[in-house]
Structure 1
């Protein structure tokens, strides 16, 4: 009898999942807070639609009809994902910066905007003169108290209740620390103010529901949310948006254009602010990621990320030559972002060395939040009694696709640099 040896069976690779992220083998990407990698769901949605690509809202052919349907379904999917209410508009923009600039253009005359000095430039620079910029608080509870005091002062002695908008981040792009959005919204409501949330850093890491939070406006970037195809969203109450002049004047934003120069009737709803050929592929990609995230166990995703974040922060704390930056206490809730410095080392040089010698990508600089980053660097120097901290910082950020091996590789590289 001849014995036939059966070769060992090689297990088949696991089928790709919608929330798998694309990447380059060997490269460790720890710069998610700047631009997250592309999710397979986004890439697949774009690939599927590309053969059908045609104009949106402007054609009777089969391709145009299909693209129009895909675009409006994307709007609905994104609105549902973020808890849009009846009367809310979902306006496609380029990114969070574009969305907040759009909102700034739609403020009623005389609106006062209240922000904190810890905001990203996108939530500092668009607002009109006369806006109130509150100091960076020492705690989430301090933020709530500061806002309450500021709004009390604004309303003092007036019975007209002029428009007030509170504009706040959901999570800091410098430290990852989460801001008490729901509590700030309660304060805003008590003072008859509206509230807008920059969710660029919060939305990729945690569920965001405008109805549950009771906020008026939400700004989001697709490139932070694993859909890097140039689309963002401003979602929120339609009355200010419908009353304002169009963000861009052009085709698609009008319901009538006559022969006379000023014979124009502008559209209402999202179309009013979406003149020109829209970014169909960006909208569809962002909707695909929203749909994929909605089908996942968000609590499990959050727990996995928090375990990696703890591993990263504890590893950095164990390195005597690394100083972490923070606004609140060390145990404040946060998303997967950590900023830090190496005393005596230029942050740009460290980032370049990590890339050249270890194939690790991190961010260096002041992260488009110059007032906050400079303040945190000064506070870190004062806490440690140091005079050798560099003028800029390093930032490592994680998300879907990040692993313990990625975190450990960064920690080992930083230990070697020390």
Structure 2
């Protein structure tokens, strides 16, 4: 039986834009668009749009001007940094560095590692947390994808035993393929017991669950604004200052420098800034920073437990509905009852994933994602596992449906209806 969802109306600040977009279907009818692609890019929160629109008339340079507009923008930028740090439970000596997105943030951290660092992660990570470490100034070790959370913890404990020198563990907070939440508390405890640090890719976790650095002990955290209802081209790296202050600037240029002097031989002597400015050369993305901060404020004032309960009910309804359809297999790493955020990936036997997503769009007005979701090793492994459970080949790629603040029970039911049409006659 499908789970029943009772959705309380969201406060105006938590309303997402675009929830009433009309789309024309192949039969010529017009319907309301259903966005079930939050995991790729979440719609803009009203609070983020309002904050940007209020600041736009004052838009000016940051950190570089004495005029009223520049001063106001500088204050807004630094207030955004503080607001985001507070929302993420940053420690007093942590840096909050603005980046373009999670990928950019993790590449920055990879460039900042001390020479000789060993980076330990898992083969099932998003490419943003899989590929940067190969260019790090050390050695990258990839652990096999675990079958259970306990296996992940035990595997990390074994992998860290005997390692010397600086060590960084990297892990996703919640999988962008399955939505499954990784055991961050236990992994952090293991890492710290071995003298290692831990970095969390929170791109999918932060929009759905509170993430607090000081409380959890996580050393570094990266996220994207465009997945956190603030699609204005900004991301964040938050974490311990020492490695970041000791590293070469991520970009060389204005803003990262305290002073530059020309030497007689034509070279330049540079005194680099410490703190976030060291890695934020160039004109910063003021509007992106302000937008993320506005979302953090709105979510910080919301009943997160209630939002999580609503989302959990939607996900249960979706998973139960898909499980009842013949030839449909859900992708998962851990056992079926494992905790997860609002992401469900699946495949339909005999129907390519691209055809599934196209028919959902053209016949039902539903937007989803198909492919391997920038986590190719994991998605391929999980497709093979799901094929065994279903007893039929599920193809080379999958469909991902993801929910968020604007999602409703009707949206889930429309998706289930569309997928059911593809399985008739089985």
Fold shared by both chains (TM-score > 0.5) = yes
Moved more, 44-53 or 127-136: 127-136
Q: Does 1:239 align with 2:242?
A: yes
Aligned to 2:25: none
The equivalent position to 2:373 in structure 1, one of 352, 356, 367, is: 367
Offset at residue 384 of structure 1 (A)? 3.4
5+ residue gaps in structure 2?
1-8, 23-31
Q: Does 1:92 align with 2:98?
A: yes
Aligned to 1:269: 275
The equivalent position to 2:407 in structure 1, one of 394, 402, 410, is: 402
Q: Does 1:62 align with 2:57?
A: no
The answer to whether the 8 Å contact 2:249/2:256 transfers is yes
TM-score, normalization: structure 1? 0.94
The equivalent position to 1:225 in structure 2, one of 224, 228, 231, is: 228
User: Is the partner of 1:18 in helix, strand or coil?
Assistant: helix
Partners of 1:65 and 1:308 in 2: how far apart? 45
Q: Look at both structures and tell me which one has the larger radius of gyration over its CA atoms.
A: 1
Query: Which runs of structure 2 are paired with 1:349-388 in the superposition (5 Å)?
Result: 349-386=355-392, 388=393
5+ residue gaps in structure 1?
1-13, 156-160
RMSD of Structure 2 on Structure 1 (CA): 1.1
User: Is the partner of 2:381 in helix, strand or coil?
Assistant: helix
Aligned to 2:180: 177
Q: Does 1:135 align with 2:154?
A: no
Aligned to 2:320: 314
Cα 1:16–1:51 shift into 2, 3 Å: farther
Q: Does 1:416 align with 2:425?
A: no
Partners of 1:121 and 1:15 in 2: how far apart? 34
Which deviations, in whole Å up to 9, do the C-alpha atoms of 1:333-371 show, x marking residues without a partner?
A: 000000000001110111111111111000000000000
Offset at residue 87 of structure 1 (A)? 1.1
The answer to whether the 8 Å contact 2:329/2:387 transfers is no
Aligned to 1:109: 115
Which deviations, in whole Å up to 9, do the C-alpha atoms of 1:363-412 show, x marking residues without a partner?
A: 000000000000001112233332x3210000000010100000000001
The equivalent position to 1:151 in structure 2, one of 154, 160, 182, is: 160
Offset at residue 262 of structure 1 (A)? 3.2
The answer to whether the 8 Å contact 2:328/2:390 transfers is no
Partners of 2:274 and 2:126 in 1: how far apart? 30
User: Is the partner of 1:316 in helix, strand or coil?
Assistant: helix
Aligned to 1:18: 13
Offset at residue 313 of structure 1 (A)? 0.5
The answer to whether the 8 Å contact 2:112/2:243 transfers is yes
Query: Which runs of structure 2 are paired with 1:177-326 in the superposition (5 Å)?
Result: 177-260=180-263, 261-326=267-332
Partners of 2:160 and 2:151 in 1: how far apart? 14
Aligned to 2:43: 37
Partners of 2:360 and 2:388 in 1: how far apart? 27
Partners of 2:400 and 2:10 in 1: how far apart? 33
Partners of 1:306 and 1:108 in 2: how far apart? 41
Partners of 2:365 and 2:305 in 1: how far apart? 31
Offset at residue 16 of structure 1 (A)? 6.5
Which deviations, in whole Å up to 9, do the C-alpha atoms of 1:121-168 show, x marking residues without a partner?
A: 00000003631100000011110000000001x42xxxxx30000000
Cα 1:148–1:102 shift into 2, 3 Å: same
User: Is the partner of 2:132 in helix, strand or coil?
Assistant: coil
Aligned to 1:11: none
